[in-house]
């Protein structure tokens, strides 16, 4: 048996403990419904278990593999949910582009969650909310230079977090 392959129920339990939170987070972000998101995560682990022999840790991590399965599951569930005559009449397959976008957006948000609170705070206040650096510095009771360096280290930490999630630019 290859290391990491999901051949035993114990392997699935371990994989669930390690990755279910993230998988569910992305499923929620994509499907916007907790019931559907749980269905997607369940289907992902069942499919992974059925195809456990095909998982090759040399090709990619278990996490990446699970996300690839989840992506397909989310597409299937979205199509099932959105199945309406007009899709068939139009003869156009639903685009997968929004889903890729959703995955990337979720990864960026997850990266922001993973970096330290100090770094996240300055990025949210200065960049996302457009507040001046000196105002944020005064609010936090730190020099303006510290806010600037937190922005810098925050971005660096986000890059590491994104790479951990398999993002490649």
Partner 1 sequence: MKTDECREWRHSLGAYVLGDLPADERAGVQAHLEGCAECRAEAESLKSVAVLLPLADPDRVERPASQPSPELAARIEATIGGERRRGRQRRQRRRFGFALGGVAAAAAAAALAIAILPGGGGGEPEQHVEFGALPGGVKIYATLEPHAYGTEIHMYVKGVRSGTLCRVYLRGPHGERVPAGTFTYRWGDDSDAVLSSALDLSRTRAIGVHAGNRTFVAPVDTGGATASTHSNQEDVT
Residue 118 tokens, joined: 């100090």
Answer yes or no whether residue 66 interacts with partner 1 by CB under 8 A. no
Burial class (CB in 10 A: 0-12, 13-18, 19+), 9: exposed
Whichever of 12 and 140 has its CB closer to partner 1, that residue is: 12
Stretch of residues binding partner 1 (CB under 8 A), selected from 45-53, 56-64, 75-83, 85-93? 45-53
Answer yes or no whether residue 139 interacts with partner 1 by CB under 8 A. no
Site string for partner 1, 67-96 (x = CB under 8 A): ------------------------------
Coarse DSSP helix, strand, coil percentages of the chain, rounded to the nearest 5 percent: 75, 0, 25
Answer yes or no whether residue 49 interacts with partner 1 by CB under 8 A. yes
Buried b (16+ CB within 10 A) or exposed e, 41-57: bebbbeebeeebeebee
What kind and span of H or E run contains 122?
Answer: helix 117-122
Q: Residue 133 contacts by C-beta under 8 Å, 6 or more apart in sequence?
A: 126, 144, 147, 148
From 5, 108, 140, 142, residue interacting with partner 1 (rule: CB under 8 A) = 108
Answer yes or no whether residue 169 interacts with partner 1 by CB under 8 A. yes
Positions touching partner 1 (CB under 8 A) are: 9, 12-13, 16, 20-21, 24-25, 28-29, 34, 37-38, 41-42, 45-46, 49-50, 101, 104-105, 108-109, 111-113, 120, 123-124, 126-129, 133, 145, 148-149, 151-156, 158-159, 162, 169
């Amino acid at each position: 048996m290859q290391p990491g392959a999901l051949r035993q129920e114990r392997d699935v339990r371990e994989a669930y403990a390690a990755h279910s939170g993230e998988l569910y987070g992305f499923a929620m972000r994509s499907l916007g419904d907790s019931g559907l998101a749980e269905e997607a995560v369940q289907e992902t682990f069942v499919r992974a278990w059925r195809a456990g022999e095909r998982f090759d840790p040399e090709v990619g991590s278990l996490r990446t593999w699970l996300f690839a399965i989840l992506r397909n599951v989310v597409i299937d569930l979205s199509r099932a949910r959105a199945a309406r005559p007009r899709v068939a009449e139009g003869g156009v397959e639903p685009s997968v582009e929004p889903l890729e976008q959703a995955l990337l957006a979720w990864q960026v948000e997850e990266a922001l969650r993973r970096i330290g609170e100090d770094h996240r705070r300055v990025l949210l206040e200065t960049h996302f909310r457009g507040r001046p650096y000196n105002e944020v510095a005064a609010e936090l009771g730190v020099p303006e230079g510290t806010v600037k360096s937190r922005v810098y280290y925050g971005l660096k930490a986000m890059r590491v977090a994104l790479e951990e999630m398999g993002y490649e630019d």
